[in-house]
Amino acid sequence: MTDFEGLRAVVTGGASGIGLATARLLAARGARVAVLDLKPDVDDPLTGYRCDVSDDAAVTAAVSVAASSLGGIDVLVNNAGIGAQGDVTANSDDEWHRVLDVNVLGMARMTRAALPHLRRSPAAAVVNTCSIAAWQGLPNRVLYSASKGAVMAMTLAMATDHLDDGIRINCVCPGTADTPWVGRLLDAAADPAAERAALAARQPMGRLVTADEVAHAIAYLASPLSSSTTGTAVAVDGGMYGLRPRPRP
Ligand code: NAD
């Protein structure tokens, strides 16, 4: 497919996992792609820019440089995010502020900085990486779930605000995806193989989602071919949101 031919895309957190798979897919489908990341080590045809989405000055500067280099911005993928574990007692106020600063304000800052460019695009789209945690009560994920619930609500509110700007805004809700992030979590578990099996079993398909599968959904939402789709959340979760199959024998 070449549906992104001539379009310019910015992907945050695009140097790893879901973001990297998305950046590569958008480029393969014709987009020129800038990756904004804390560690922007990416290969051709992607161009990396160092940017911490929790730093407003860094976001403004990186968006400006990326837009100049690309000649504008049509697609923004707000994907950078960090995890947090534990029940409501597990994280200090500072940690709450840190995670919300990256996962929620990071997306607000990026969208705010990209808006003037998106308004000039004939095919403007924003896709936010949300999570199954916005919909389902996962154990020991209070802070992370709060951040992704905010991403879901923010996606809908922003989609409404920018209807008349012609900017479509949607989100994807991955289940547990096999990315370096989850690899790090598994490495830290007492029994990584058992933990991986438990995460896989939680998803009705019985396996983890792949980064490429999430990237495909992000590309679907970002594509100019999806020009009537705004204010939606697409689950990429092996059936975790909607299905209640009987446990496998
Ligand atoms: P990952 O750790 O493999 O990649 C995340 C990338 O974001 C990294 O390159 C990292 O450097 C970058 N990043 C982190 N903080 C940043 C900051 N402050 N500024 C700029 N870049 C920053 O993670 P992933 O699994 O690919 O996750 C990507 C997104 O998907 C996150 O928003 C995460 O919440 C969401 N998600 C992941 C899963 C999963 O199971 N992996 C499930 C649901 C949602």
For residue 89, what pLDDT is reported? 98
- In this structure, which residue's CA is closest to atom 11 in ligand 1? 38
The structure's pTM equals 0.98
Q: How far apart are CA 198 and CA 180, in angstroms?
A: 18
Same domain, 32 and 75: yes
How many Cα neighbours within 13 Å face the side chain of 40? 20
Q: Decide if 201 is inside a domain.
A: yes
1 within domain boundaries = no
Closest CA to 245 of 195, 208, 194, 201: 201
- 66 and 116 in a single domain? The answer is yes
Is the pLDDT confidence value at 248 over 90? no
Helix (H) or strand (E) holding 79: none
pLDDT tens-digit profile of 21-50? Answer: 999 999 999 999 999 999 999 999 999 999
Using most ligand atoms within 8 A of CB, pick from 24, 25, 38, 241 the residue to mutate for ligand 1. 38
Quote the number of domains for the chain: 2
Residues with CB under 6 A from ligand 1: 12-13, 15-19, 37-39, 51-54, 79-82, 102, 129, 131, 174, 176-177, 179-182
Q: What mean pLDDT value characterizes the chain? A: 97
Q: Are residues 33 and 148 in the same domain?
A: yes
- Same domain for 140 and 31, yes or no, is yes
Its domain, for residue 204, covers 178-208
139 lies in the same domain as 182:
no
Q: Please, is 222 exposed, middle or buried when counting C-beta atoms within 10 Å of its C-beta (0-12, 13-18, 19+)?
A: buried
| Residue 116: pLDDT over 90 | yes
User: Do both 97 and 214 map to the same domain?
Assistant: yes
Whole-angstrom Cα Rg for the chain: 17
CATH code where residue 230 lies? 3.40.50.720
Over residues 164-223, the pLDDT tens digits come to 999 999 999 999 999 999 999 999 999 999 999 999 999 999 999 999 999 999 999 999
Q: Domain check: are 77 and 120 in the same one?
A: yes
